[in-house]
Structure 1
Amino acid sequence: MRAMAAAAATAAAWAQRLAGVRGLLLDVSGVLYDGGDGGGTAIPGSVEAVARIKQSGLKLRFCTNESQKSRDKFVGLLQRLGFDISVNEITSPAPAACQILKERGLRPYLLVHDDVLPEFNEMDTSNPNCVVIADSGDSFSYQNVNKAFRVLVSLENPVLISLGEGRYYKESDGLMLDVGPYVKALEYACDIRAEVVGKPAPEFFQAALREMGLEAHETIMIGDDIVSDVGGAQRCGIRALQVRTGKFRPCDEHHPEVKADGYVNDLAEAVDLILQYANK
């Protein structure tokens, strides 16, 4: 009897958390796949989970801070791993950054990965008056970071635009430093604050909602980052689940500032729950 009561209470709790969900925002790295040699590997059950979401009629948007690949290359990688995904389903920070640069007449010094440079082909990079920084991988050399520092410190009103501010992410061989630590170094050296384009910035999540045509209360975010994915979404009024894949660590469930609306083992379990309870 106690077991039945506990199961009923758990079901009721999930039904309350997931009621009225009409669309999903999915993080990609650590939720769909783990990067690594050869492009990485799909997390077990994630290919099928994405297919089930699409078959269900729920709206779907892939929300990523990926900045080591252009959107075309990124989608090509995911397709090779078996995912049903297209470029127009991706919300990522590079296009938003380009729009900001155009609107404000900014000429960037690009501290970005070589594979994402095509996203900035239309930008004037001569005589830079700002810095755009992203996860540059091995390009985060002292020389390149120092060039960015010199650009910023030479400006009367320095502008640093960051494609996300993640601390680290997971690849198949372990955790990797993300762009955030390098952003903090430039902020400290230049006594400035970066403008973040991407998660956890509210504008990023609001753009994804507009692209889906849904309100925040109709949407749920699924990610592996307790701060950028979960915290960022919740600050916009979006419910958020954290998966125990990717960069997840057990201490995330006891984070001092952010508590997910639910914790699930992986995307497959999240989709099982959403399809079971969202319309109840």
Structure 2
Amino acid sequence: MMIKAILFDISGVLHVDKLPVAGAIEAIQRARDEQKIVRFVTNTSRSTSTDMLQSLLKMGFDLSVDEVFTAPVALRQVLQQRKLRPYCLVHKNLLPEFADLDQNSPNAVVVADAADGFSYESMNRAFQLIMQGAPLLGVGLNRYFRQNNQLLLDAGPFIAALEFACDVEAEILGKPAKAFFQTAVESTGFKAEEVLMIGDDVFADVEGALAAGLRACLVQTGKYTPGDEEKIRHPGAWLCPNVVDAVNRVIKPSYDYSNR
């Protein structure tokens, strides 16, 4: 079935440490020129959605706010809908995203990539609230990410620690949650099987997309490490050197590419 829309992960796929991947800006434009709907989906939680959009625009990417789907925004919407008061264990740069929510006497725990904010004190506070009945809400289960040419722990391991300690299961609002992918797909107007997810994370991007019925491509940039493709359990994923090759494969499906 022809691919009619593309979901792009951002960090590690379109740019690495704020430097655009070679040819990425042009690849997105080629996709648009070929009448492909494009969306940008990310679990990135070290900046607000507004700051992230402005950063991408400064790098030269052409996109609008309604094309961007971020896990923190999805999480914020759930908090508002359920009238929850969050204890925010998040990065200091992300705090403005939740600043106007009532956070007195918290009755929910929100965990994102808090970086140095993950201390015994903060984790124990989250643990105590969950043990008192507060739901555990996570931006994503990403295990790690790449920054300044090194791998760094993401939110996933800390969420897993709280799940283990409290004997609960976190509700994940970003990738790889099926609902997150469905929201992005619905915005394109096409069926899931007509949409391709391009990402550098085997579990959050590729496995999550495939489980939600999308097509998926793993690129060998960003957090990718050799052998990651062997961890993909669902069949049919593509493996491409970078986002440019992935887009070219969509535009020229008859080209002789090798599957994983």
| Paired residues, number | 254
Relative distance call for 1:120 and 1:50 in structure 2 (3 A) is same
Report what 1:33 is aligned to.
15
- Post-superposition offset of 1:276: 1.0
- Aligned AA (1:108): P
**Residue number among 201, 204, 213 corresponding to 2:180 in the alignment:** 204
Q: 1:82 to 1:139 in 2, by over 3 A?
A: same
The structure-2 alpha-carbon separation of the partners of 1:169 and 1:263, relative to structure 1 and needing over 3 Å to count, comes to same
Residue 218 of structure 1: CA displacement?
Answer: 1.1
Distance 1:177 1:225 in 2: 13
Alignment-derived partner of residue 23 in structure 1: 5
Q: State the shift of 1:160 in Å.
A: 0.3
Q: Which residue of structure 1 lines up, in the alignment, with residue 36 of structure 2?
A: 58
Aligned to 2:163: 187
The CA deviation at 1:266 is: 0.2
Unaligned 5+ segments in structure 2 are: 255-260
Relative to the length of structure 2, the TM-score reads: 0.93
1:252 and 1:244 map into 2 onto residues whose CA distance is 9
Write out per-residue CA displacement over residues 171-214 of structure 1, whole angstroms, 9 at most, x where no aligned residue: 13211111000001111111111000100000000000111111
**Match in the other structure for 1:142:** 120
Q: Give the match for residue 201 of structure 2.
A: 225
Question: Which has the larger share of helix?
Answer: 1
C-alpha contact 1:63 1:91 (8 A) present in aligned 2: yes
Q: Residue 259 of structure 1: CA displacement? A: 4.7
**Alignment root-mean-square deviation, CA:** 1.5
In 2, the alpha carbon distance for the partners of 1:269 and 1:166 equals 24
Decide whether the 8 Å contact of 1:227 with 1:258 is kept in 2: no
State whether structure 2 residue 260 is matched by structure 1 residue 255. Answer: no
Tell me if structure 2 keeps the 8 A contact 1:132–1:162. yes
- Counterpart for residue 257 of structure 2: none
Q: Which has the higher contact order (CA 8 A, sep 6+)?
A: 1
Shift of the 249–141 alpha-carbon distance from structure 1 to 2, 3 Å rule, reads same
Q: TM-score, normalised by structure 1?
A: 0.86
Deviation at 1:258, TM superposition (A): 4.1
In the alignment, the residues of structure 1 paired with residue 201 and residue 80 of structure 2 have an alpha-carbon distance, to the nearest angstrom, of 31
Structure 1 portions without partners, runs of 5+ = 1-18
| 2:210 maps to which of 222, 234, 237 | 234
